Amino acid sequence: MRTHNNCMSASTLKTSSLLPTAGVIALIAFALPAQAEDWRGWNIHPDGYPNTVALEEFAEAVEEQTEGRVSPRVYNNAVLGDQSDAIEQTRNGALDFANFNMGPMGPIVQETNVFSLPFLFNDVEHMHTVMDGEIGERFADALEDKGLVVLSWFDSGARSLYNTQHPIKTPGDVEGLKIRVMNNDLYVDMIAAMGGNATPMSYGEVYQSLTTGVLDGAENNYPSFESSNHYEVTGYYSLTEHLIIPECLCVAKSSWEELSEEDQAIVREVAEEASKRQRELWVESSEESRQIVLDHGVEINEVDDKGAFQTLMEPMYEEFIANNPGTGELIEEIRATE
């Protein structure tokens, strides 16, 4: 935690001829305002991305409403490290806040792996209902046990496959394709079940690997497909919509605990607003990105029989449930949430 004091320092208060007595020091300490908390925030996305806009507005509103007691700054484009590292850094307090996806969170907070099961949620609205309810609170508790305080949940739409070779309409079309996935072994199993070869890789390395043929494709939502420029080097986007993964706006537990109750309440409220804002921007941005990639000449295709992909995931579910006691019931609970 870095702190700074935006008032005059003790040395400017003391007279040059006298050393301050203990009483004077106590007086000075009393007169100085509480130290401001400089918060460093990790963000993987570029300027203008819905999450970036929401995070920047969050930072500004926190600074304003806490009257400078908390002064957050967002660092975009993963300049503070890749997502798995940033999760660790936030857990140990080297970073103060971040927007994380529950995909790369899985290896660190095991409970969140359930969100990496393909076709878990019916649609984005279903995901929101689950995350905004009691089940979402249970996940927030699991994250807090690992040092991350969840303030609110963001959207990240539905992820679909894209590649340089051909449209994907059936699992047979994935056969032999080298597909980049986020860092989580469950995605390796997912792509293998479809007949492809998965390579876990940091987001920032994907563009280059697509241009050199190290990869044939990857998978993501419209705003990321567009803002990462992957659409410039892949001709086909196929609406498999196989993953709907929640994201959090999280604060390092150590940074959180340094705040007064009053400031915690302010930050929480501002984060709720940020989530609303992010979700609204998400809808607009998805449509804009879809249009940009279409205009560029990317072929977008519907997948008529998503059930064919879903059926292939059954062994993955069975293995997951067998390895993670209690998750069978949880999956049923999620599916039954309306």
Does residue 186 belong to the site contacting ligand BDP (CB under 6 A)?
no
- Dihedral angle sign, alpha carbons of residues 12, 13, 17, 21: negative
Does residue 182 belong to the site contacting ligand BDP (CB under 6 A)?
yes
Question: Running DSSP on this structure, what letter comes out for residue 113?
Answer: G
Question: What would the x/- binding string for ligand BDP be over residues 58 to 97, using CB under 6 A?
Answer: -------------------------x--------------
Does residue 105 belong to the site contacting ligand BDP (CB under 6 A)?
no
Give, for 150, the enclosing helix (H) or strand (E).
strand 148-154
- Is 128 in a helix, a strand, or coil? helix
**Distance between CA atoms of residues 44 and 75, nearest Å:** 8
**Distance between CA atoms of residues 225 and 22, nearest Å:** 62
Please identify which residue in 52, 76, 221, 275 interacts with ligand BDP, judged by CB under 6 A. 221
- The residue among 66 and 99 lying less far from ligand BDP, judged by its C-beta, is 99
Which residues fall within 8 angstroms of residue 72, CB to CB, at 6 or more apart? 39, 40, 41, 58, 59, 62, 63, 96, 97
Does residue 289 belong to the site contacting ligand BDP (CB under 6 A)?
no
CB of 322 to ligand BDP, least distance (A): 28
Question: What would the x/- binding string for ligand BDP be over residues 152 to 171, using CB under 6 A?
Answer: ----x---------------
Which token pair is 193? 């079940």
Which token pair is 223? 């705003």
Does residue 220 belong to the site contacting ligand BDP (CB under 6 A)?
yes
- The residue among 205 and 258 lying less far from ligand BDP, judged by its C-beta, is 205
Comparing CA positions, the residue from 248, 249, 244, 194 lying closest to residue 217 is 194
Structural contact between residues 223 and 157, judged by C-beta atoms closer than 8 angstroms:
yes
Does residue 203 belong to the site contacting ligand BDP (CB under 6 A)?
yes
Please identify which residue in 224, 238, 275, 285 interacts with ligand BDP, judged by CB under 6 A. 224
Q: Which residues here bind ligand BDP, judged by CB under 6 A? A: 44, 83, 101, 156, 182, 203, 220-221, 224, 247
